[in-house]
Amino acid sequence: MGKTDLIIVGGGAAGLMAGCAAGELGLRALVLERKHKPGRKLLMCGNSRCNLTTNIAEDRMLQMFGEPVGAFLEPAIRAFTPSMLQRWFAANGLKTVVKTGNKVYPHTDRAADVLNLFTDQLRDKNVSLACSSTIQALEKVKSGFRITTDNFEVESSYVLIATGGVSYPKTGSVGDGQEWAKRLGHSIATYRPGLVGFEVEPQVIKGRVGKIYDKVLVDILEDGTKVAETRGVYEIEKWGIGGTAITDASRVVARQGLKDCSLLIKFENGQIEEIRPLRPRSIKEAMVTVGGVALDEVDPRTMESKKCPGLYFAGEVLDIDGPTGGYNLQAAFSTARLAVAAIGRRCGKAGFPAWEPPPKKDRPFKHGSRHGSRK
């Protein structure tokens, strides 16, 4: 039976980034993915354009996650910030651009290029990726962990679970990691759909299906009291209401467990519409899962399990979720790198080698240059 330093379970956003980080540190690592191809959900991100992050300062980003997620993610986001993320992609050959609302995309506007970057990096950094590898068992053994797949067994000193949430199960995220975590002593916060539309009374959408309002402000009220606000797009769908302002509101409703809420939609022209949503759409359609491995059982400085030493988590398998705009990928990437950095330290690897050139020295001022400024 083979033995390696680190097995990363799940070849999605978090697992692929973890694999690259492991390669940067020179760890012997193996990424196991149950689907025949990695990154199925990554390819769907941002309408296949992949909204990688939001170009804002860490403090603001952490605030936007809200509690308790923001506090938990603080060490991870500070260690791999939105601007570091952009520099990491550029250093590895994919420049990013900042678009409306500070949303960051690959300059090619193609999620496929993000996935190709990851698989190229794994190849170049000698990290193995085994697809069609569904894990049947994950056991703690004397020397670390033993993983049994349909075809082989492998042992490792450390395991990083990056199997995602339970939304969009066709992409491979079906809740396996949470089940293993449970068996190893973890509690799992109940799953709720985050970033999804709401079903509403038929009269709300009557005669308006297909309408899109670009800029609305939504007050979320519980028992008549405002608890939060969101802004963005409001769309009337044939099954109810959607758009970023509404899906962001659904996450607040799920996170705060609001039972009797209404949405006060404020249009640009001053009109106001109050809607009492009947229910959120299914979790299978949600862009993110609220719920997962309980945060108080994971060390936020390392992503290591407090229940099972040597076991780490990254990404949506944890009870973390953020608003639309690249927050969820940022969380997946940052938690993945933080976990691998901690595992690297335990394997005697000091820290990530510099992956970007040092900043260029200011060129001397040249007379006659355009606008008299440096170019």
Ligand X SMILES: Cc1cc2nc3c(=O)[nH]c(=O)nc-3n(C[C@H](O)[C@H](O)[C@H](O)COP(=O)(O)OP(=O)(O)OC[C@H]3O[C@@H](n4cnc5c(N)ncnc54)[C@H](O)[C@@H]3O)c2cc1C
Positions that interact with ligand X (CB under 6 A)? 9-15, 32-35, 38, 40-42, 44-46, 50-51, 134-135, 162-164, 167-168, 171-174, 176, 287-288, 315-317, 326-329, 332
Q: Which is nearer to ligand X, 104 or 265 (CB)?
A: 104
Torsion of CA 65, 67, 68, 72, to 10 degrees: 50
Question: Residue 155, CB half-sphere, CA atoms under 13 Å: how many?
Answer: 10
The amino acid occupying position 239 is W
Q: Does residue 280 have a cis peptide bond before it, meaning omega lies within 30 degrees of 0?
A: no
Minimal distance in Å, beta carbon 35 to ligand X? 4
Residue (of 170, 127, 231) closest to 41 by Cα position: 170
CB of 322 to ligand X, least distance (A): 7
Task: State in angstroms the smallest separation of the CB of 134 from ligand X.
Answer: 5
Rg (CA), the chain: 22
**At its nearest, how many Å lie between ligand X and the CB of residue 44?**
4
At 291, is the secondary structure helix, strand, or coil?
strand
Q: How far is Cα 266 from Cα 243, in angstroms, rounded to an integer?
A: 14
| End-to-end Cα spacing for the chain | 58
Taking the least distance from each CB to ligand X, the nearer of 32 and 258 is 32
The least CB distance from residue 341 to ligand X, in Å, is 17
Residue 154 three-state SS: strand
CA–CA separation, 359 and 169 (whole Å): 43
Question: What is the distance between the alpha carbons of residues 129 and 260, in angstroms, rounded to a whole number?
Answer: 46
CB of 104 to ligand X, least distance (A): 9
Q: Taking the complex as a whole, how short is the minimal distance between the CB of residue 257 and ligand X, in angstroms?
A: 21
Task: Choose between 42 and 188: whose C-beta lies nearer to ligand X.
Answer: 42
**Least distance CB 131 / ligand X (angstroms):** 9
- Cα angle: 44, vertex 79, 50; to 5 degrees: 15
Q: Which is nearer to ligand X, 64 or 174 (CB)?
A: 174
Secondary structure (3-state) at 329: helix
Could you give the residue ranges of the DSSP H alpha helices within the chain?
A: 13-25, 40-48, 58-65, 69-79, 82-91, 111-124, 176-183, 202-205, 244-255, 327-346
Q: Which residues fall within 8 angstroms of residue 328, CB to CB, at 6 or more apart? A: 287, 288, 316, 321, 322
- Give the integer Cα–Cα distance in Å for 328 and 351: 25
Lookup: tokens for 276 = 């009492």
Considering beta carbons, is residue 115 or 265 the nearer one to ligand X? 115
Q: Which is nearer to ligand X, 212 or 272 (CB)?
A: 212
Q: Which is nearer to ligand X, 204 or 250 (CB)?
A: 250
Residue number with CB closer to ligand X (161 or 341) = 161
- In whole angstroms, how close is the CB of 116 to ligand X at the nearest point? 16
* Complex with ligand X: residue 13 or 261, whichever CB lies closer: 13
